[in-house]
Amino acid sequence: LAAVERVFRDADERFSLYRHDSELSQVNRGELELAAASLELRDAYAAAHDWRRRTGGAFSPNRPDGAIDLNGVVKALAIETAGHVLHEARCAAWTLGVGGDILTATGSSIEIGIANPLERGALIASVTLRSPRRAIATSGSAERGDHIWRGGETTPAHFVQATVVAGDIVTADVLATAIIAGGPEMLDFVTDHWDVDVLTVDRDGSLLATPGLTTALAA
């Protein structure tokens, strides 16, 4: 448990933009060159840029004001790392849940509820995480308002919520964010290019789901 906590504490100390003393805050203030930053920070930045390329810019590590913001990958990377810690400690069954992103152990099975963004406290559906689909991530405006940007500004998104179930937590988290940023066009692109299940909620409450989640909705 201490090792898992250390993973998230280290990520916060390195990447948090709320902390004046974090390494990323120093980079954004110009006190530290990105090229001179830690390998962990540079690797996270490279990973985020690779996802920007793969999603055609729907996902980006750069804010409209030019600041580097790695929140879109850092949480998922920390969850992934913590999962490795638990695996190496020979924990047979575990589930990590961090801010709506959930990863479970290989061989584990757990039922996860998907919240209704238009009715607080209610669920749209529940899904069972098990190998090979061990990860689920939800992005949208229900909890934090419209905070996802694309094209230089933050604008109300077509979808208020997107949930992605995938084989790994980084893919699930990034693609959920990309769908919110890119709208229906990105939803089509994601489902054409990645082996994932997706559930989206429009602002009027309409639902779209891939076949893997249609059964969950019916239930």
Q: List Cα–Cα distances, 215 to 131, 152, 153, 190, in angstroms.
A: 18, 38, 36, 20
For residues 72 and 61, is the Cβ–Cβ distance under 8 A?
yes
Higher pLDDT, 148 or 191: 191
Alpha-carbon distance of 160 to 144, in angstroms, equals 11
Q: List Cα–Cα distances, 83 to 9, 25, 79, 95, 106, in angstroms.
A: 15, 27, 6, 8, 10
Helix (H, G, I), strand (E, B) or coil at 110: strand
Alpha-carbon distance of 72 to 61, in angstroms, equals 7
- Please check the confidence at residue 18 and state whether its pLDDT lies above 90: yes
Q: List Cα–Cα distances, 28 to 18, 59, 150, in angstroms.
A: 12, 19, 20
pLDDT at site 120 = 86
pLDDT at site 147 = 47
pLDDT at site 212 = 86
pLDDT at site 65 = 85
If you average pLDDT over every residue of the chain, what do you get?
Answer: 91
Of 134, 138, 133, the C-alpha closest to 123 is 138
- Please check the confidence at residue 151 and state whether its pLDDT lies above 70: no
- Write the pLDDT tens digit of every residue in 84-135: 999 999 998 999 999 889 999 998 999 999 999 999 889 999 999 999 999 9
Q: List Cα–Cα distances, 123 to 113, 127, 131, 142, 217, in angstroms.
A: 6, 11, 23, 13, 10
pLDDT-based confidence at residue 165 (cuts at 50, 70, 90):
very high
